[in-house]
Amino acid sequence: MPVIDHFTGQKLTSVNAIKFTKRNLDEELTVEAGSKEYRSPHSFGKTYFEHRKALELSNEDHKELEEYAHSKGLEFIETLCSPSCIKLVDTVKIDRIKIASRDITNIWLLEELGKTDEHIIVSTGMCTIKELEKALNILSRTEKQIDILHCISQYPADYNNINLMSIPYLKDKFPGHTIGYSDHSIGIVVPTAAVALGAEIVEKHITLSRKMKGSDHTGSLEPDGLWRMVRDIRNIEASLGQYAKQYNSAVDGSRIKLARSLAINTSLKNGEILEESMLCMLSPGNGLSWEQKKIVVGKKACRDIAGKSLIEREDFQ
């Protein structure tokens, strides 16, 4: 599978999963909608039905892709678009089933998936919060893990409409679910920002070339873009840390070099009294603190001390 290899080669070993879509075209369109003439530079058929049919993979194709993805250590995810497509789990080892944004109000599909114990991902690009809650109730009729993806079903998604703050909102409202983000924006800024806000799953369309025929390519990432997105996401994940403000020993060297210690701003001879007005704070930071000035103020110097130098308690008596 050179196409999969192109996206999951050595530089992308940290990619976790790849997703495909399974449709039954008999359960997709009305006759009227499917028979409409489809004139577009991206069309693969004279009618919209013919166009969709040309893009569909066979069950055998899905099986081949699943086996190859698993051989590469990837999770294999399928968006299943109608009840009859659920039969694919009988022959293809699907790690998670995704429900597309368009189908979150498709009770016909949700009720069938609700009877299974399959791991589900729900995309929320076209629903209200009440519709999401209803979908989760239906899907939860049997015990299963359900992940929720924030999404905006606009192609490409306008930055002003994305509302990434929905991610922490969903994490607070649905603490028992893994929350992620399905992206339709241009570039990699939004999905990487989503991770910074708590997204634990990121979905992004990919293509070998944005110049290829097909309506999804222009908004997808090419291999180099995907590599950069994954690189940035992994760096963000490593950077997030804990919900606390703690001292980190990694700054020890910088602290000694750059922090300040108690010093004198003028020279002091042996036997002279140190006055507070003579004090200042200078780098490096491995000496006395300002709070420790009472140890030395009013004391006699027991040696000559040059101006603009750090002082120690041993310098006074």
Model pLDDT for residues 187-214, shown as the tens digit of each residue? 999 999 999 999 999 999 998 888 888 7
pLDDT of residue 1: 54
C-alpha–C-alpha distance, residues 210 and 215, integer Å? 10
What pLDDT sits at residue 10? Answer: 47
Helix then strand then coil, in percent of the chain rounded to 5, is 40, 15, 40
Tokens of 150: 């924030």
At residue 217, the pLDDT reads 80
Region for residue 308 given its phi and psi (left: phi exceeds 0; alpha: psi -120 to 50; beta: otherwise): left
**Are β-strands 75-80 and 96-99 bridged in parallel, bridged antiparallel, or unpaired?**
parallel
Which DSSP helix (H) or strand (E) runs through 18? strand 17-22
Q: Which residue intervals of the chain bear CATH 3.20.20.70?
A: 2-240
Fold classified for 251-315: Type Iii Antifreeze Protein Isoform Hplc 12 (3.90.1210)
Provide the 3-class DSSP secondary structure of residue 223: helix
Residues of the chain with pLDDT under 70: 1-14
Task: Provide CB contacts within 8 A for 213, sequence distance 6+.
Answer: 41, 42, 44
Domain(s) labelled CATH 3.90.1210.10 in the chain stretch across: 251-315
Separation of alpha carbons 135 and 227, rounded Å: 34
pLDDT digits (tens, 9 = 90+) for 6-47: 555 544 456 899 999 999 998 998 999 888 998 888 888 899
- The fold of the 2-240 domain, in CATH, is TIM Barrel (3.20.20)
Tokens of 20: 């495909």
